[in-house]
Amino acid sequence: MGHPELKRKKGRKKNVFVRAWFDKLEKKFEEKPPKRKVRSKRKGVGKDIIVKKQLVSVNINHSALGPEGDPGTIGDLAQFGYIYNVKPQVVPIEGDVILDTNGILTPGIAHVPGTTQIAVSDAGKYEVHFSVSGVEPNQFAIFINGALAVGTVYGSGAGTQQNTGQAILALACGDVLTLRNHSSTTAVTLQTQAGGTQASINASVLIKKLR
């Protein structure tokens, strides 16, 4: 049978070795693993943003650009004028309104106070406004060199209603404008002190050159 004592000793050593191996393995599982350094995603995003904000120099070939254009026109009005009347007046049928006062006029617009004619020295497109305060129902219009300007006939159906009109007209150098009592049924008396005690404007013309 051999030596039973030796066999027992060998078996005991084997059991001791196996138990020691399991103890080591159990210790490994009980130990906490070392913390790994994790890079923050935000830091990466921040780096991307910094890269995007970097200035980039670009060389522009100026020879590829076209020639410089002419300077544009100034936005202010080239010519303008305001002319009006405050004195009592009766305007006959097909008669022109006398305007007794000049407001501000540029050199290209001329009018002698107390006359009917307004002259322009610059050709172009003009915006023209007029107003008449008459006692009787009336129709007034703008005339150019004695001829009716198409699209300028405006009417008032009552003495308490102001007659106002406006138009854009193509005028030549030297053209003369008048404000006329055109096709009314009677002569028209211009109101004075309408609505109060002060002398009020009863007829006016505003003219502006557009271009």
Domain assignment present for 180: yes
Q: Is residue 192 part of a domain?
A: yes
Residue 10 lies in a domain: no
Give per-10-residue mean pLDDT for the chain (211 aa). 51 59 67 60 51 61 67 72 97 98 97 98 97 96 98 90 96 98 95 83 97 78
Q: Which amino acid is at 28?
A: K
Into how many domains does the chain fold? 1
Q: How confident is the model over 41-69, as pLDDT tens digits?
A: 555 454 554 445 566 666 666 666 667 76
Q: CA end-to-end span of the chain, whole Å?
A: 134
Residue 106 lies in a domain: yes
pTM for this model (two decimals): 0.64
Q: Quick check: is 42 in a domain?
A: no
In a domain, 41, yes or no: no
Question: In this structure, is residue 38 part of a structural domain?
Answer: no
Assign residue 180 the CATH number of its domain. 2.60.120.40
Q: Is residue 1 part of a domain?
A: no
Residue 117 lies in domain: 80-209
Q: What is the pLDDT of residue 6?
A: 47
